[in-house]
Amino acid sequence: MAKVEKRANAGMTGEKYTEKCSELLRKIISAAYGAGEIMVNASPHDEDVMAKGGRANYVTVFDEKVQEFLLKELSRILPEAHFVGEEEGQEIFLPEYGKGFTFVVDPIDGTSNFMRDYELSVTSIALLKDGRPYIGVIYNPYADRIFYAEKGCGAFENGRQIFTSPDPLSHSLVSMGTAPYYADEITHSAFEIGNWYLKRSIDIRRSGSAAWDLCLIASGRTGLFYEPLLCLWDYAAGACILEEAGGTITDMHGEILAYRGKSSILAVTAGVAKEDYLPPVELMRE
């Protein structure tokens, strides 16, 4: 596999804060920058890649290194918080996670991209408070772009407050996820739904990182994102950022998210939220 070019200066400034950041948020942002440093200085090879359950579902030694780093750093920041990370394989939301603080972490969202030097992978850190998103931080070290939000304080990209777009679906880009790790019929359904949205929007995009796609909606670049099945660590941080930017996130039936584990995801901007944007029920195979 291609070697990832080292970037000594990428995303390591840690200066893109705002006065609205609490000290807790500042510390979590700093941890995200540290995770990004591990990513951009990594050199993944075939022997570093392991298959997980499901088709095209991989983990690298660097996913594990980033998670170990974040477990250490976040535990230091908030010792009383629970920790749920993708590479722990803990997909069941335990009752204790619904009380107090719980970190939900995807160390490298977009592992397939990372393996292929595609340079579109992010670190995603959510802090739940009593089972609901309270802080979200998502960092793309390749583009040196960090998105973050704290409940009630707005959403930001590199220190600039962001808002979702007022444009209707017909004037918006749609981003999608294909849920390739799960049953083939779910992936097939994702493309059928994509075709339905294609006829109602400008065009379709596919990044390979759900966390990144949620940031693109929050910052007004796209109008809608959907994926038939995602894990909590894929969407928790992005949900906080999106809602603070004025967007709406539900499951694909329009139901409020429980933040207890896997779910379909449908995220829209302020403009699209005024429309009838839910896909037909007969296209969905969850």
Residues 115 and 34 in one domain: yes
Residues 34 and 63 in one domain: yes
Percent of the chain with pLDDT strictly greater than 70: 85
Work out the widest C-alpha separation in the chain, in whole angstroms. Answer: 50
The mean predicted confidence, pLDDT, of the chain is 88
Residues 35 and 132 in one domain: yes
Does 261 have pLDDT greater than 80? yes
Distances (CA, A) of 254 to 95, 257, 268, 281, 286: 25, 9, 11, 11, 14
**DSSP class per residue in 30-61:** HHHHHHHHHHHT----GGGEEE-SSTT-EEEH
- Find the domain containing 98 and state its range: 23-161
- Out of 142, 161, 180, pick the residue that ends a domain: 161
Residues 141 and 185 in one domain: no
Residues 232 and 151 in one domain: no
Do residues 189 and 282 touch, judged by C-beta distance below 8 A? no
- Out of 121, 138, 161, pick the residue that ends a domain: 161
User: Would you say residue 11 lies in a domain?
Assistant: no
Residues 153 and 55 in one domain: yes
User: Would you say residue 269 lies in a domain?
Assistant: yes
Residues 275 and 176 in one domain: yes
| Mean of pLDDT values over 233-244 | 98
Least confident of 78-87, 179-188, 227-236: 179-188
- Residue 14's region, left for phi above 0, alpha for psi from -120 to 50, else beta, is left
Does 4 have pLDDT greater than 50? no
Q: How does residue 2 score in pLDDT terms, banded at 50, 70 and 90?
A: very low
Which residue, 201, 256, 267, is CA-closest to 234? 267
User: Would you say residue 10 lies in a domain?
Assistant: no
C-alpha span between 218 and 42 (Å, rounded): 29
Q: How does residue 196 score in pLDDT terms, banded at 50, 70 and 90?
A: very high
| Mean of pLDDT values over 106-120 | 89
Residues 234 and 264 in one domain: yes
Residues 185 and 151 in one domain: no
Distances (CA, A) of 211 to 9, 181, 228: 23, 16, 15
pLDDT score, position 47: 42
Does 14 have pLDDT greater than 60? no
Distances (CA, A) of 172 to 55, 71, 280: 31, 38, 19
Residues 195 and 265 in one domain: yes
- Residue 144's region, left for phi above 0, alpha for psi from -120 to 50, else beta, is left
User: Would you say residue 17 lies in a domain?
Assistant: no
User: Would you say residue 221 lies in a domain?
Assistant: yes
| Residue 175: CATH number of its domain | 3.40.190.80
| Residue 113: CATH number of its domain | 3.30.540.10
User: Would you say residue 8 lies in a domain?
Assistant: no
Residues 222 and 128 in one domain: no
pLDDT tens figures, 175-189? 999 987 777 888 889
Does 265 have pLDDT greater than 90? yes
pLDDT tens figures, 45-75? 544 555 445 444 445 788 889 999 999 999 9
Q: How does residue 279 score in pLDDT terms, banded at 50, 70 and 90?
A: very high
- Out of 109, 136, 161, pick the residue that ends a domain: 161
Residues 94 and 128 in one domain: yes
How many separate domains does the chain show?
Answer: 2
